[in-house]
Amino acid sequence: MDALKRYLHTHTNPPVFLISGAVVLLFLIFGSLAPHELTHGAGMVQDFITYYLGWFYILSVSFFLIFCLVLMMGRFGRVKLGPDDSEPAYSTTAWFAMLFTAGMGIGLVYYGVAEPLDHYFRPPTGAGSTPAAAAQAMNWTFYHWGLHAWAIYIVLGLAMGYFHFRRGLPLRPAAAFYPLIGDRIYGPIGNLVDILAVFGTLYGLATSIGIGAEQITAGLHVLFGVTNDALNQVLVITSIEALAIASVMLGLDKGVRNLSLINLWLAVALMLIVFAAGPTLYELRVFPNYLGNYLQHIVGTSFTLFTQGAPAKWQADWTLFYWSWWASWSPFVGMFIARISYGRTVRQFVAGALFAPAGASFVWFTVFGGSALWEQMFGHVSLRPYNADQVIFELIKTLPFGTESATLVSGLTIVVVTLFFATSSDSGSYVVDMLTNGGDPHPVAMQRLFWAVTEGLVAIVLLLAGGVGALQTAAITTGLPFTVVLLLMCWSLWRVRNQEAASFRAGAGLH
C-alpha cells in the first residue's frame, strides 16, 4: 500500500488520476450493462443542449476566431513559447504533420465525401440537388472544418504553451488559470479543470475512433465482403489500438512523430490520386469559387442561428455537433500541439495552426467533395443511396481507374484511415496521461498503456450503445463545459497579453 501511495504521488496527480479513472470505469460498466438506458439519457441531454444552448456555441466559437486573430496581429505575437533565445523543437514539416494528423485526420476521410453530398441533397435552406445547393454545401463544409475549428484548438494550445514554456508552470489546462486564481490551480479548482479535460479528450477521441472503425469496416465490406456490423467494428478497434499502443510505447519522437509523417504523406498521395483521376479541371475552376464564397460570407455564416423546424434540426446535427466535438477535443489537440511547439512565437503558432490545416482541409474537401458533387451533377452514377462510411469507396469506383486500380486506391484509403486512427489514439494517450499526472511532459509508459486501452474501451461501449449517434451525443455533452473553460482561458491570456505589452512600453523587451 505504501508503494502504491508513493507511485501515485510520484507519477500522477492523485485526485485527477483516481477520480477520472473511477468515473470512466463506472461509465464502462454502466454502458456495458445498460446500453439502451445510456443512449436514452444521453439523447435527452443532447436535445436540451442543442435547443437551449445552441446560441452559446455559435457565439463562443466565433469569438475564439476573432480572439486568435487579435493576439496574432498585435505585439503579443512576437512573444516566444519559451525563453527569448529558444528555437523550435521540430521542423516545420514534422510540426505540421503532427498537429494536422492529431487534429482532424479521421474526420476528413469520413466526411470528405459524405458531408458535401449530404448538404447538397438536404441543405438547411432552399431546394436540394441544385447548383445553388452545391455552392451552399461547400460553404457550410468549409465553415465546419476551417478557421473556426482550429481557433478552438489554438485557444487551449496557446494557453498551455505560453504558461508551460514561458512561465514554467505544469503542462496542464489548470495552469492557464494562474493569472485568475494563482496557486489555487494546484487545489480542487485546478483539479476540476483537468478532470473536465480528461473527459473531453476521452469522449471526443472516442467519437473519432468510432467513426474510423465504421469507415474501415465499410471499406473491408466493399473490398472483401466483410460484414459491416458491430462485432467487426469492435475487432477493428481492438486491432488498430494495438498499433497505437506500439506507437505510444515507442515515445513521442520514435513513435508518434514518425507515424504522423507517414500518415501525412500517404494522405497526400491519396488526395493527389483522386485529384488526377477525377474531374481535375472542374476542381481547379471551382476551388476559387468555393474559397471566395466562404470568405465572402464568413461573417454571416458565423452568426447564423436557425431557431425552428428542419433548419434548426440540421444545425444541431451538423454545426452544433462539430463545435462541441472540437471543444471536447481541444484538451487533446491543444495540449498536444502545445507540447510540440516549443520555441515558436505566438504569431507563428497561431498562423501555422490556423491557416495551414484549414487551407489543407479546403483543398481536401474540394478534391473529394468536389469530385462527388461533379459526379452527382454531371456523371452517370448516383451516390445518394450510400451511407457516410461507405460513400468514399463508391466514389472511387466511379473514377476511371479500372477494377484493380480502384481496389488498390480503396485499400490505400483504408490504410490512411487506419493510420489516422492510430495517430489520434497514441497522441491522445500522451495527452490524457499528462492531464492525470500533473502536467509531466514525459509520462510513464505503463500509464500511457492504461489510457490507450481505456480510449478503445470507451469507443467500443459508445459504438455498441448507439453507433455514431451515441458518439455524437458524447461529444456534444462533454464539449459544453469545456467551452466555458476555453472562454475563461481567453480572459487569462488577455491578462498576460497586457502584461507583455507593459514590458514593451517599459522598454524591458520580452522576459
**Domain residue spans of the chain:** 61-499
Q: Which residue has the higher pLDDT, 201 or 366?
A: 366
**Lookup: cell for 463:** 459504438
pLDDT band at 509; cut points 50, 70, 90: very low
The architecture of the domain spanning 61-499 is Up-down Bundle (1.20)
Q: Compute CA distances 312 → 47, 124, 194, 305, 473, whole Å.
A: 12, 8, 33, 8, 17
Q: What is the reported pLDDT for 255?
A: 53
Q: Which amino acid is at 382?
A: S
Residues 6+ apart with CB under 8 A from 40: none
Q: How far apart are CA 357 and CA 338, in angstroms?
A: 15
More confident residue, 447 or 53: 53
Q: What is the Cα–Cα distance from 34 to 500, expressed in whole angstroms?
A: 53
pLDDT at 202: 84
Residue closest to 142 by CA, chosen among 270, 286, 14, 306: 286
Mean pLDDT in residue range 177-191: 93
| Of the ranges 92-106, 332-346, 362-376, the best mean pLDDT one | 362-376
- C-alpha 160: how far from its chain's center? 17
pTM equals 0.91
Residue 102 C-alpha cell reads as 492529431
Euclidean distance between CA atoms 64 and 44, whole angstroms: 28
DSSP 47-62: HHHHHHSHHHHHHHHH
For residue 491, pLDDT beyond 60: yes
Q: Is the pLDDT of residue 503 over 80?
A: no
pLDDT tens digits for range 284-315: 999 999 999 999 999 999 999 998 899 999 99
Decide if 35 contacts 466 (C-beta within 8 A): yes
Inform me whether the pLDDT recorded for 21 exceeds 90: no
Tell me what pLDDT residue 420 has: 80
pLDDT band at residue 178 under the 50/70/90 scheme? very high
What pLDDT is recorded for position 511? 41
In the block, cell 520580452 appears at 510
Average pLDDT, the chain: 86
Per this entry, what is the length of the chain?
Answer: 511
pLDDT at site 467? 66
Distance CA 228, CA 130 (A): 32
pLDDT tens, 379-393? Answer: 877 888 788 889 999
* Strand, coil or helix: 96: helix
**Helix ranges restricted to H, 74-91:** none
Rounded CA-CA distance 421/208 in Å is 7
Q: Are 423 and 256 in contact (CB under 8 A)?
A: yes
Cell, residue 51: 435547443
pLDDT band at 504 (very low <50, low <70, confident <90, very high): low
CB atoms within 10 A of CB 411: 14
**Rounded to an integer, what distance in angstroms lies between the CA atom of residue 383 and that of residue 113?**
10
In tens, the pLDDT along 122-157 reads: 999 999 999 999 999 999 999 999 999 999 999 999
Residue 41 confidence (pLDDT) above 60: yes
More confident: 405 or 487: 487
Question: Cα dihedral sign for 288, 291, 295, 298?
Answer: positive
CB 13 within 8 A of CB 432: no
Pull the grid cell for residue 323: 463545435
pLDDT for the residue numbered 455: 83
pLDDT at 35 over 90: no
Residue 332: predicted pLDDT? 79
Q: Mind listing the pLDDT tens digit for each residue in 391-427?
A: 999 999 988 887 788 899 999 999 888 888 777 777 7
Torsion of CA 227, 228, 232, 236, to 10 degrees: 130
d(CA 419, CA 409): 15
Closest by alpha carbon to 479, among 206, 204, 212, 207? 204
The Cα 287–Cα 460 span in angstroms is 38
